Structure 1
Amino acid sequence: MKTVICLVHGAGHQPLHYKYLIDALRRHGLTVAAPPLPTSGYDDASATKTHLEDVARVREYLVPFLEQGYEAILVGHSYGGRIITQAAAGLTGEERAAAGQDGGVVALVYIAAFTEKEQPLTPEILGVPPEDVNPATKLLWPEAAIRAMYHDIEPGRANEAVALLQRQSPRDLDGAAVCKSSDVPVPKRYVACRQDRVISFGTQLQFAEAAVAKVVAELESGHSPWLRDDGIRAIVDCVLEFSRRRQDDV
């Protein structure tokens, strides 16, 4: 069975942030799609975009693979978790098989992520001081970004990540959710990060419980485990668990 991994980035990020993880997945022979979300961008076009455009973008990348019979594992980091939950609606293997179609989404993997659109994203709730946030871009100032998201990352990689940050739409959460995680009939896994300064470890566990997602790893990591070698290994192992299980079932 052919498998595609669809990796969905966090707010203010872009696919290139995840190049070390993408390369690791490819080394295991996996096909990877990493759509750039419309709500994140360098120019002003992103300012009016919402999560609904993000969901549509992920589906745009996914559907051609599904129509070729691929099974898809969706991996979402941070804000991207909200998007994979909604993007999977109606595209699961179970739902496509019932419609006489091949392929489909077979699993969701959340990395230090929100799992529902309704879960709040504010500096107060996340524990990030308001003064650390640039009000024009909704992003953390560079020094604050390192403190909050990349404090445990090797300096070269951390500075590289900060340089790649983009604007995030102030309207990203406008509009109703497409679905809730409970509406998506696939197995779900959660990679939680104990040293996360953006979404606290306890909050991550609550999000995992809300999604009925099994916590498969509790990393001694901050918010960006995909920039750490041990974090990359844990995420790849989680993805491979699903991929191998699907191969064994064929």
Structure 2
Amino acid sequence: MVQHHDTNHQERQPPVIASGAANHRKPRPAIIIIPGAWHQPVHYTALAEPLRQQGYKVEVAALSTMGDPDAIRAKTHHDDVEIVRALLEPHLAAGREVVLVGHSYGGLVATDTAAGFTVEERGAVPTGPDGGLQVQGGGVRAVVYIASPAVVEKGISLTSGMEKMSMGDPPANEGKVTLEDGVAKTSDECWKHLYSPADEKVSRAAFAASRRHHSVASFLSASTAGARDLRARLAYVVAAADEFTLSPAVQHRIADGMGPRCTKHVFEGAGHAPWLQPELLPRLVGVITGVAED
């Protein structure tokens, strides 16, 4: 595990990489952002725009597990994986590499989306009984987790993974979210913890744009992959001042459990949504472009 505590990040323009002939250029990877629970694509505009300004194609998934209680109650994270895979597929067909960015709950979705579709796994696949190999090209190049309770091992749920990593610590979101009839609802005052220490006006606006209901089933559905088994580069952003979903100590344990492919970036002073803090945004963009470039 490589751990970075650097605070001085210099933005770099991602290079266009030559691959073989001088006139053949490898395009920049696409970036797919996967929202956390209760969050909509609009919440990630401040993160997506500086990436687009650097020439990246950025998409933000609209997940199915939040919204009207009757519509979401039976939805699991597997439904969200299908949505993200649909965004991923055109890039795979074009032989393009992709970086997945999973915020909070979105990290669980990112792991299962990436499994079996990484650049390494698509690099050479059997074509038939003769044992020949075909290079498919493209695939998931890297996964970036932001303050995420992503499970590190296969076959367990987000809830089980958090319980295992908490080591007896009480849930950081206790009293901020209520569970009733298969739906997790944010409390009226939880914006203070969900976005703290971001500016109050920004925090209130972000909370007003959120969907207040999220499917409990999505927290209980078993993962089909573990982050530590992904054959891709991983990065984990620890939000060291997170007051919402899981404590910084648990975030450290999750990142450490992802193994040697994972680089841990500790963001001192960061809340659960660090891109809403202008002083941290350039560094967060740099983490994403770093795994896209290297």
| TM-score, normalised with respect to structure 2 | 0.77
| Aligned partner of 2:248 among 198, 201, 206 | 201
| TM-score, normalised with respect to structure 1 | 0.90
Give the AA of the match of 1:133: V
User: 2: CA distance between counterparts of 1:41 and 1:102?
Assistant: 36
Query: CA separation of 1:228/1:90 partners in 2, compared to 1, >3 Å: closer, same or farther?
Result: same
Instruction: Indicate the SS of the match to 1:21.
Output: helix
Match of 1:16 in 2: 42
Give the AA of the match of 1:119: G
Match of 2:188 in 1: 142
Higher normalized helix content (fraction of residues)? 1
Match of 2:222 in 1: 176
Q: Is the 8 A contact 1:94 1:185 kept in 2?
A: yes
Structure 2: which 5+ runs fail to align?
1-25, 126-134, 152-157
The one-character-per-residue Cα deviations of 1:102-149 (angstroms, maximum 9, x if unpaired) are 201011111111221442379x8422333x324344132131x22211
Q: Is the 8 A contact 1:46 1:169 kept in 2?
A: yes
| Aligned partner of 1:106 among 141, 152, 163 | 141
Give the AA of the match of 1:162: F
Cα shift at 1:217: 3.4
CA RMSD of aligned residues (A): 1.8
> Aligned runs of 1:152-191 on 2, under 5 Å?
152-166=197-211, 167-191=213-237
Give the AA of the match of 1:184: L
Q: How many residues align?
A: 242
Structure of larger gyration radius: 2
Structure 1: which 5+ runs fail to align?
246-250
The one-character-per-residue Cα deviations of 1:31-89 (angstroms, maximum 9, x if unpaired) are 11111111122463122100111111111111111211211111111111111111100
Percent identity among equivalent residues?
31
Query: CA separation of 1:244/1:127 partners in 2, compared to 1, >3 Å: closer, same or farther?
Result: closer
> Aligned runs of 1:1-250 on 2, under 5 Å?
1-2=26-27, 3-42=29-68, 44-99=70-125, 100-116=135-151, 117=158, 118-120=160-162, 125-130=170-175, 132-136=176-180, 137-143=183-189, 145-166=190-211, 167-198=213-244, 199-212=246-259, 213-245=262-294
Cα shift at 1:153: 1.2
